[in-house]
């Protein structure tokens, strides 16, 4: 039976949006354009998947959405609040509402603290309740993520990777946030337990009305958990649309290449006719991105126009957007 951990009275589902968001870093070699002019809106109670190769800017974008990085330009809105213009006191009040869960469950826990102490820690930081109520909330959160109360006396090194990630989810759940950035949350886990963790996130979303930004490099995972997907390459969105549309009828050559590389769990003679699209080379450096379309240096369909002009952001199907000169709806 689930413990009586309930949403806060003011915990209506949150909308989160980015408008022309850029995150740039000054280095000795020049300016790194980690995120460059990204816009999207995540609806209340929705899971918005963000996918791309390593180096595409996913984690930087996630940290900005969680309030850990300040935008270089553009805005992040959390409901009616513009996070860029909030005062320090206002940001502190809203901090509990937008949280992040990181990829490595081992590094996220203090090895010198018991599990119960780690789960209580966020409540200690915000000063909510007395000692007894914090312990009860932490115990309830552990139970809600499927861990026995006795595990609270253990230390991180005594737990499996899956158990540690459940502890990290419980830590976040104690704050009863409205929005959670999930940054590669199953990437470090055994394949055998990834499904149970993903199902836990789905159950918590239904119960608490949580809005998710789900960041991953695994297109099969993001297709499974997301309502809509944004495809990121070199800090820019290449495509955005409903998860089913992105998975079944991708418009951008980059998305098509990502999907073609997904392993199909069927014998060769039963697989569909999807041909593997092999991308040559690595993602260019964000210090010196290509002119025009950032994907053109690896795109099998690139033409001279791709170097000369940045593609327009076009809606080719209902709620399905793409940045490509030559993409067609094919409907």
- Per-residue pLDDT tens digits for 62-92: 999 999 999 999 999 998 899 888 888 888 8
Q: With a threshold of 0.85, does the pTM exceed it?
A: yes
Residue 10: the pLDDT is 61
Q: Residue 29: exposed, middle, or buried by beta-carbon count in 10 A (0-12, 13-18, 19+)? A: exposed
Q: What angle do CA 126, 128, 132 make, to 5 degrees?
A: 130
- Per-residue pLDDT tens digits for 125-142: 988 889 999 999 999 999
CB 233 within 8 A of CB 37: no
> Which has more pLDDT, 64 or 1?
64
pLDDT (average), residues 178-203: 92
Q: CATH classification of 16-323 is 3.40.50.720, yes or no?
A: no
Residue 113: the pLDDT is 96
pLDDT (average), residues 197-212: 94
Query: What is the C-alpha radius of gyration for the chain, rounded to an integer number of angstroms?
Result: 21
Rounded Cα distance, 261 and 189, in Å: 21
Rounded Cα distance, 324 and 287, in Å: 22
Residue 189: the pLDDT is 87
Full 3-state SS string of 210-222: CEEEEEECCHHHH
Residue 266: the pLDDT is 44
% the chain with pLDDT above 70: 92
Residue 278: the pLDDT is 77
Domain boundaries, the chain: 16-323
CB 290 within 8 A of CB 309: no
Q: Is the pLDDT of residue 123 over 70?
A: yes
If pLDDT is split at 50, 70 and 90, which confidence band does 330 have?
A: low
> Which has more pLDDT, 6 or 201?
201
Residue 92: the pLDDT is 81
Q: Residue 43: exposed, middle, or buried by beta-carbon count in 10 A (0-12, 13-18, 19+)? A: middle
DSSP 92: H
Q: Is the pLDDT of residue 4 over 80?
A: no
Q: Is the pLDDT of residue 255 over 90?
A: yes
pLDDT (average), residues 114-129: 93
Residue 41: the pLDDT is 97
- Per-residue pLDDT tens digits for 17-43: 999 999 999 999 999 999 999 999 999
Residues in the chain: 331
> Which has more pLDDT, 192 or 52?
52
Q: Is the pLDDT of residue 3 over 50?
A: no
> Which has more pLDDT, 127 or 255?
255
Full 3-state SS string of 137-187: HHHHHHHHCCCCHHHHHCCHHHCCHHHHHHHHHHHHHCCCCCEEEEECCCC
Mean pLDDT of the chain: 90
């Amino acid at each position: 039976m689930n413990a009586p951990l309930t949403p806060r009275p003011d915990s209506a589902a949150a909308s989160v949006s980015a408008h022309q968001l850029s995150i740039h870093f000054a280095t000795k070699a020049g300016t790194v354009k980690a995120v460059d002019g990204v816009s999207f809106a995540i609806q209340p109670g929705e899971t918005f998947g963000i996918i791309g190769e390593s180096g595409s800017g996913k984690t930087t974008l996630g940290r900005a959405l969680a309030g850990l990085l300040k935008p270089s330009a553009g805005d992040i809105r959390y409901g009616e609040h513009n996070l860029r213009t909030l005062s320090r006191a206002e940001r502190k009040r809203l901090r509990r509402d937008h949280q992040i869960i990181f990829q490595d469950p081992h590094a996220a826990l203090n090895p010198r603290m018991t599990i119960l102490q780690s789960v209580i820690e966020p409540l200690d930081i915000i000063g909510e309740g007395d000692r007894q109520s914090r312990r009860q909330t932490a115990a309830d959160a552990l139970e809600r993520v499927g861990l026995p109360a006795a595990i609270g006396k253990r230390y991180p090194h005594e737990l499996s990777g899956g158990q540690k990630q459940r502890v990290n989810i419980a830590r976040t759940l104690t704050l009863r946030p409205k929005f959670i950035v999930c940054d590669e949350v199953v990437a470090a886990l055994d394949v055998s337990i990834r499904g149970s963790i993903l199902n836990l996130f789905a159950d918590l979303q239904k119960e608490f009305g949580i809005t998710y930004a789900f960041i991953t490099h695994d297109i099969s995972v993001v297709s499974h958990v997301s309502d809509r997907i944004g495809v990121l390459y070199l800090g820019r969105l290449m495509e955005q649309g409903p998860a089913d549309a992105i998975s079944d009828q991708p418009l951008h050559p980059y998305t098509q290449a990502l999907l073609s590389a997904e392993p199909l769990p069927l014998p060769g003679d039963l697989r569909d006719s999807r041909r593997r699209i092999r991308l040559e080379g690595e993602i260019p450096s964000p210090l010196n991105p290509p002119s025009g379309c950032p994907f053109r240096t690896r795109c099998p369909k690139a033409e001279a126009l791709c170097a000369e002009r940045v593609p327009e952001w076009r809606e080719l199907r209902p709620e399905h957007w793409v940045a490509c000169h030559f993409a067609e709806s094919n409907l």
